[in-house]
Every structure is written in C-alpha cells, then in structure tokens.
C-alpha cells in the first residue's frame, strides 16, 4: 500500500494509522467516552489539532483502520480473473479477507458490535465505512461485467453483499452462538446467499 508513496505521504499515513490504533485501543480498554481528541493525541504524542486535521470525529478515527484495510478487499476482487463469475470471486476472496479487514482486532469484535448497537454515531460511521467500500466494489463489478455504474442497479446490489455478509457474520459470531470461525461463517453465508437463502434447508452454524 505504501510502495508508491513518497516520504511525506508515508509519514502522514503512519500518523493516521497511529491515531486510529490509539482511538481503537482507548475504546476497547476504557469505553467510547474515553476517546477524545486530547486523549488520542496524547497517546500518539501529537497535538489535538493534529488529530482534528485527520479526523472529524472519534467514530471516524476508531473505524479508519478497518476502512484502510477494507481497501485491500477491493484490490483482491479486482485481481480475480476478468471472466470469473462475481459470486465465484466473492467465494474466493471474502472468507480470508474478513480477517485481513479486522487485522489484530478479532478479539475486540464483541466490543465493537456492542458499541455500534448502543451508540448511534458509531453505527452511522460503520454504515458510512461500508458504504464507501461498496461503491468501490460496485465499480469493480461494473468494469468486469460491462455494466453502467450510474444506470444499472445490479453492480450496486452485488456490491452490497460483502458488507452485509461481514456485518451479519460479525454480529452473529460476537453473540457466541457458534464455534465456527469467521472465515467459515463467511463461506457458509456466501453459499446460502448464492442459493437464494434456502431457509429451512441450510444446516445451522455450530
């Protein structure tokens, strides 16, 4: 991700990542109310003004690391064979990509799910993050299928699948109702969606 960036850009990216990591750590260790511009800046040893130069809100800072890693999902889909059906591409890419998007934050998924459920601003920011990624995925799908991104609905519907799948899987997994791994849950989800959600016939995750 940084190979084509100049030194200045790499430093700015490093600061952005450090601020997001600090915001995430404060949230998981002390609760979202502990995430202030002053506290995050102090953890990274920069000024609160620097924090505000990068992020408009604490919610944006907390989820920015996930957004940055989610961009790799877009590139992974773009790298799949051009003639491969989109559902096949999802099946190849999404199961392992969920761990890439989470990074080292898998253990904090339950905390994230709970805070998003309790905090409207966090829930809105989560939707915004997935919305940005969905637009990029829709563009990839349109490129591969020859669809018109501005006038065809299909690329947008398909692009919603990764985000919706990951949100549903994370919420289900965080609830402790299964011992399946996150990648396995994604595989099962893609298979069920591809079959048209055959409710009553699909084996439950255990």
pLDDT at 5: 65
pLDDT at 198: 66
CB 125 within 8 A of CB 59: yes
Q: How far apart are CA 170 and CA 129, in angstroms?
A: 15
Parts of the chain with a pLDDT under 50: 1-2, 202
Query: Is the dihedral angle over the CA atoms 140, 97, 153, 131 positive or is it negative?
Result: negative
Q: Give the total residue count for the chain.
A: 206
pLDDT at 156: 94
Nearest in space to 61 (alpha carbons), one of 74, 48, 76: 48
Q: What is the pLDDT of residues 25-63, one digit of tens each?
A: 999 999 999 999 999 999 999 999 999 999 999 999 999
Q: What number of other Cβ atoms are within 10 A of residue 72's Cβ?
A: 14
pLDDT at 136: 92
Q: How far apart are CA 168 and CA 158, in angstroms?
A: 16
pTM > 0.75: yes or no: yes
pLDDT at 66: 87
């Amino acid at each position: 991700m940084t190979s084509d960036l100049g030194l200045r850009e790499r430093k700015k990216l490093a600061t952005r990542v450090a601020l997001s990591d600090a915001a995430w750590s404060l949230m998981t260790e002390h609760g979202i109310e502990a995430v202030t511009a002053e506290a995050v800046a102090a953890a990274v040893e920069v000024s609160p003004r620097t924090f505000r130069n990068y992020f408009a809100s604490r919610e944006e800072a907390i989820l920015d690391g996930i957004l940055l890693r989610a961009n790799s999902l877009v590139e992974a889909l773009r790298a799949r064979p051009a003639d491969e059906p989109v559902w096949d591409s999802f099946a190849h890419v999404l199961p392992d990509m969920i761990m890439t998007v989470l990074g080292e934050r898998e253990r904090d998924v339950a905390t994230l799910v709970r805070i998003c459920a309790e905090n409207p601003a966090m829930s809105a920011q989560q939707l915004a993050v997935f919305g940005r990624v969905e637009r990029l995925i829709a563009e990839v799908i349109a490129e591969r299928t020859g669809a018109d991104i501005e006038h065809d609905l299909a690329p947008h519907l398909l692009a919603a699948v990764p985000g919706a799948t990951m949100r549903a899987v994370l919420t289900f997994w965080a609830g402790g109702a299964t011992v399946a791994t996150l990648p396995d849950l994604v595989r099962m989800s893609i298979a069920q969606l591809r079959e048209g959600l055959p409710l009553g016939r699909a084996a439950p995750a255990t």
